[in-house]
Amino acid sequence: MFGARCLLRALRSCSSAPCPRHKPSAKLSVRDALGAQNASGERVKVQGWIRSVRSQKEVLFLHVNDGSSLESLQVVADSSFDSRELAFGSSVEVQGQLVKSLSKRQNVELKAEKIEVVGNCDAKAFPFKYKERHPLEYLRQYPHLRCRTNVQGSILRVRSEATAAIHSFFKPSSKIKVPEENFFNVPVFLTVSGQLHLEVMSGAFTQVFTFGPTFRAENSQSRRHLAEFYMVEAEISFLESLQDLMQVMEGLFKTTTMTVLSNCPEDVELCHKFIAPGQKDRLEHMLKNNFLIISYTEAMEILKQASQNFTFTPEWGADLHTEHEKYLVKHCGDIPVFVINYPLALKPFYMRDNEDSPQHTVAAVDLLVPGVGELFGGSLREERYHFLEQRLARSGLTEAYQWYLDLRRFGSVPHGGFGMGFERYLQCILGIDNIKDVIPFPRFTHSCLL
């Protein structure tokens, strides 16, 4: 039964009339078939999976999807086709004529001449049921099958578009005229994700970025953490202010999001409509407003004056917790907010000393966004040899980081960079509550399904 290939019917058009010699049917993706202008009977071949079957007296309607778009292609067959074989979840190859549809629901449909069942689907055992909308938690139990559902298909297409948009942001295609202010004409792809390694590269290339998996052994079960996640990291040489850095961060967020919204509107809409009602407006609000900037010190003042009771009492020198991040974003009118200049004692040795007092800070920046909290983290890096040397000595790290000090001995430049958690970005634009739903194979503490 499985993997059986049963040829249901030969070309019907040949049975009564002489069979015209025509070219073999052009293979089309569902997306291209749906986008066909002025469909007028071209012979095409479409392959995919059956998403629905509807049997009427004389006619059988199938919807076939191949992952190229959210929308499926309607296939119209006469009722002589065996609808038992043509079951939900089966894979099929359909040949026929692409014609204008009479219904308003779609522009084109495929008038089937030949339908081949490529692989059957055991409907009883298949965990997804026809016409049922399964909750994301339910789908999560089937990491190997959930990409066959509408919602996961949409999320994965958005993920793919966002990935491409991020690459384009940093490295516009050479075929497109690049405006002068465009950054990152020479990206460098690294094998290891890590800012210190990007800093090595920024000693020879003035704009570098990397995008790849990052691993953290955090023992967290939160809806915002994974043991393996994707990170976009960028480092810019000859950069002297957090303002310049924040401009790139805001540009990356907004440009990527606009590209995604323009390239896969239906997929985004599906999420906004069924998973996160209201998210469309929230996202537009973020896109059309300038992100805000407050200092860590100001943030602490705001928190101290809050009427809300926090689990962790806000206090200068202490970390910002999730509850604080949420409050700050809300306080700022649900617009993403940059928090800058954190206490030196809170941050790693490589962040640039602001040389202020009595509240000693470094030029660090985090971007907090509605729903997700911290999305970006970045800083100016300490490019001054003696400052860095002293910080390392204080931490007993001088020997291990001799190579890092070298970067400051030989043609050091002021520089800064940031990292953006890619899954959190997807959560933020789509309004997906749990991070495990925006990555194909989530790995987290005590769980490694597949």
Which two structure tokens, joined as six digits, stand for 176?
């497109």
Nearest CB to a second copy, comparing residues 129 and 285: 129
Closest CB 396 distance from a second copy, rounded Å: 19
Nearest CB to a second copy, comparing residues 186 and 306: 186
- Quickly list DSSP for 314-342: P-TTSPPPHHHHHHHHHHTTSS-EEEEEE
Is residue 3 within the footprint of a second copy (CB under 8 A)? yes
Figure out which of the listed residues 25, 72, 195, 206 binds a second copy, where binding follows CB under 8 A.
206
Non-local (6+) Cβ contacts of 295 within 8 A are 339, 340, 341
Non-local (6+) Cβ contacts of 156 within 8 A are 147, 440
Site for a second copy in 96-125 (CB under 8 A): 118-122, 125
Closest CB 17 distance from a second copy, rounded Å: 28
Nearest CB to a second copy, comparing residues 246 and 435: 435
Q: Which stretch binds a second copy (CB under 8 A): 95-103, 183-191, 327-335, 427-435?
A: 183-191
133 touches 275 (CB < 8 A): no
Site for a second copy in 318-357 (CB under 8 A): none
Figure out which of the listed residues 157, 352, 381, 436 binds a second copy, where binding follows CB under 8 A.
157
Site for a second copy in 408-437 (CB under 8 A): 408-414
Site for a second copy in 382-401 (CB under 8 A): 383-386
Nearest CB to a second copy, comparing residues 174 and 311: 174
Q: Which alpha helices (H) appear in 145-278, and where do they start and end? A: 150-170, 195-201, 242-263, 265-274
Is residue 151 within the footprint of a second copy (CB under 8 A)? no
Nearest CB to a second copy, comparing residues 251 and 414: 414
Is residue 36 within the footprint of a second copy (CB under 8 A)? no
173 touches 381 (CB < 8 A): no
Residue at token pair 């012979």: 43
Nearest CB to a second copy, comparing residues 157 and 272: 157
Site for a second copy in 46-75 (CB under 8 A): 47-50, 66-68
Q: How many residues bind a second copy (CB under 8 A)?
A: 91
Closest CB 257 distance from a second copy, rounded Å: 16
Distance (Å, rounded) from C-alpha 338 to C-alpha 353?
Answer: 18
Nearest CB to a second copy, comparing residues 77 and 151: 151
Nearest CB to a second copy, comparing residues 214 and 341: 214
Q: Angle at CA 124, nearest 5°, toward 121 and 129?
A: 85
Nearest CB to a second copy, comparing residues 224 and 324: 224
Site for a second copy in 248-277 (CB under 8 A): 263
Nearest Cα residue to 143 out of 434, 374, 449, 363: 449
Figure out which of the listed residues 34, 201, 275, 344 binds a second copy, where binding follows CB under 8 A.
201
Q: Which stretch binds a second copy (CB under 8 A): 105-113, 296-304, 346-354, 440-448?
A: 440-448
Is residue 381 within the footprint of a second copy (CB under 8 A)? no
Nearest CB to a second copy, comparing residues 358 and 411: 411
3-state secondary structure of 211: strand
Distance (Å, rounded) from C-alpha 86 to C-alpha 193?
Answer: 46
Nearest CB to a second copy, comparing residues 337 and 435: 435
Closest CB 406 distance from a second copy, rounded Å: 6
Closest CB 284 distance from a second copy, rounded Å: 22
Non-local (6+) Cβ contacts of 333 within 8 A are none
Which two structure tokens, joined as six digits, stand for 4?
């059986």
Torsion of CA 166, 172, 173, 176, to 10 degrees: 130
Q: Which alpha helices (H) appear in 124-177, and where do they start and end? A: 136-139, 150-170
Distance (Å, rounded) from C-alpha 369 to C-alpha 386?
Answer: 36
Site string for a second copy, 74-93 (x = CB under 8 A): ---------------xxx-x
Non-local (6+) Cβ contacts of 154 within 8 A are 70, 264, 266, 267, 268, 270, 271
Q: Which stretch binds a second copy (CB under 8 A): 161-169, 280-288, 311-319, 340-348?
A: 161-169
Closest CB 439 distance from a second copy, rounded Å: 6
Phi-psi region of 165 (alpha: psi -120 to 50; beta: other; left: phi over 0): alpha
Is residue 163 within the footprint of a second copy (CB under 8 A)? yes
